Amino acid sequence: MITPYAINILLHIYQTSAPVPPSATLKETLKMFEFNDMIESDTASACAWVLTPKGLYHIEALCALPFPEVTWITPGCPNLVQGV
């Protein structure tokens, strides 16, 4: 399972060439993405990492997810349903 932090790192690499902000789990997260062929090292970039086609596809899939919808049901009134 991918963590929100890992998604944030992947989005950072996708969005900017600025260096990834350091953190305690950064090295482990980058190794995981590199092992799964989602990023690769790039000496020409200030970030030092670029997305592979697999990583870009993952970002596009995340961006294509629809917003969740909530439906409220009033107990005792089955015909009264409100969507948000």
- Digit-coded pLDDT (tens) for 37-70: 999 988 776 678 889 999 999 999 999 999 888 8
Contact indicator for 15, 9 with CB cutoff of 8 Å: no
**CA atoms of 9 and 12, how far apart (whole Å):** 5
How far apart (Å, rounded) are the C-alpha atoms in residues 35 and 78?
A: 51
DSSP letter, residue 2: -
For residue range 11-35, what is the model confidence (pLDDT) as tens digits?
Answer: 999 998 888 888 888 989 999 999 9
Longest alpha-carbon distance in the chain: 64
CB atoms inside a 10 Å sphere around CB 58:
19
Q: What is the mean pLDDT of residues 2-6?
A: 90
Catalogue all structural domains in the chain, each as residue range(s) with its CATH number: 4-63 (1.10.10.10)
Residue listed under structure tokens 């790192």: 9
Give the pair of three-digit tokens for residue 62.
Answer: 């995340």
